[in-house]
Amino acid sequence: VFDLNSDGQIDRDEFTFCWNHWIKIIVRPISAFLIVDVQNDFISGTLNISNCSAQQNGLDVIEPINKLLETVKFDAVFYSLDWHPSDHVSFIENIGEREIDPNSPVTAENAQTYDTVIFSGSPPQKQRLWPRHCVQDTWGSELHKDLKVVESAIKVYKGTNPDVDSYSVFWDNKKMTDTTLCAQLRMRNATDIYICGLAYDVCVGATAVDALAIGYRTILLDDCSRGVDLADIEKTKNTVTTNSGVIVNSSQVKAMV
């Protein structure tokens, strides 16, 4: 595979280039485990996903996630937290506080939870409306008490800008600002990212799509994720696989890391 130099030796610069750019990624993967938004509000609080159409239970993710944390040696473990100020744009309770675009399919008077509204702006801003959830420093935004938090845990907070929502753990929905996740992964030379948590078809899906776009080998953990809507969960899986991500069960992970 390598061109040899005049002494019949492998060219050192070429070897160095190949080592840094792809050999290392293949022979020495560096893994990150990213646990998305396993917070009280999504499990038994104001945005309890078991009240959503898929009727899944957020509690179900805790046992398989804890088991992975106890049995698999990831190089880094991240916990993301949806972390909103109380005047956040995604809260249906706040709809009266912002101007609505004339083309919005719903108005401040008739909007229902889970509808999409269009707020005025340039460009106008689409926003799905959720009940008030994960308000900073409240019980609802705490990680569930039964979720194991490892000693080396790195927490990543998102959705802190009152005017922009943030589904992906990498970027807000307008891609204006990145979270600390990008720099943390780069600093560790991470190659592989294992993603799971809540909600499958919202923040987990958006995070996996961004991870693939950046170029990480991306593994979605199916049994460690629960979502809002069955059709949207299917769409998420299709998008991930068509973008070369893989979807596995947590029992398959030990052999991969």
* Active-site residue list: 37, 158, 203
Residue 100 binds which entry of ligand VGL, Zn ion, none, with Cβ cut-offs from 5 to 8 Å by kind?
none
Task: Pick between residue 82 and residue 192 the one whose CB is nearest to Zn ion.
Answer: 82
| Binding-site member from 202, 211, 220, 233 for ligand VGL (CB under 6 A) | 202
Please, which of residues 178-197 interact with ligand VGL by CB under 6 A?
none
Residue from 33, 74, 79, 130 touching ligand VGL (CB under 6 A): that is 130
User: In Å, how far are 126, 219, 237, 242 from 25, measured between CA atoms?
Assistant: 38, 15, 25, 22
Cα 157 versus chain centre, distance? 11
What are phi and psi for residue 191, nearest 5 degrees? -115, -35
Q: Does 82 bind Zn ion (CB under 5 A)?
A: yes
Determine if 198 is a binding residue for ligand VGL (CB under 6 A).
Answer: yes
Task: Out of 199, 208, 219, 221, name the contact with ligand VGL by CB under 6 A.
Answer: 199
37 binds, among Zn ion, ligand VGL, none (CB under 5 to 8 A by kind): ligand VGL
For 200, half-sphere exposure in the C-beta direction (CA atoms, 13 angstrom radius) is: 32
52 binds ligand VGL (CB under 6 A): no
Residues 77-96 that bind ligand VGL (CB under 6 A): 82, 90
Q: Looking up tokens 């961004």, which residue turns up?
A: 210
Residue closer to ligand VGL, measured from CB, 77 or 191: 77
The residue count for the chain? 257
Judged by CB under 6 A, which of 203, 208, 212, 220 binds ligand VGL? 203
DSSP 55: -
CA 121 – CA 130 distance, rounded (Å): 20
Contact 149, 63 (CB under 8 A): no
Rounded Cα gap, residues 159 and 179, in angstroms: 10
Site string for ligand VGL, 149-178 (x = CB under 6 A): ------------------------------
DSSP secondary structure letters along 31-50: EEEEEE--BHHHHTSTT-GG
Using CA atoms, how far apart are residues 155 and 157, in angstroms rounded to an integer?
Answer: 7
Give the nearer residue to ligand VGL in terms of CB position, either 135 or 199: 199
Residues forming the site for Zn ion (CB under 5 A): 82
Residues forming the site for ligand VGL (CB under 6 A): 37, 82, 90, 130, 198-199, 202-203
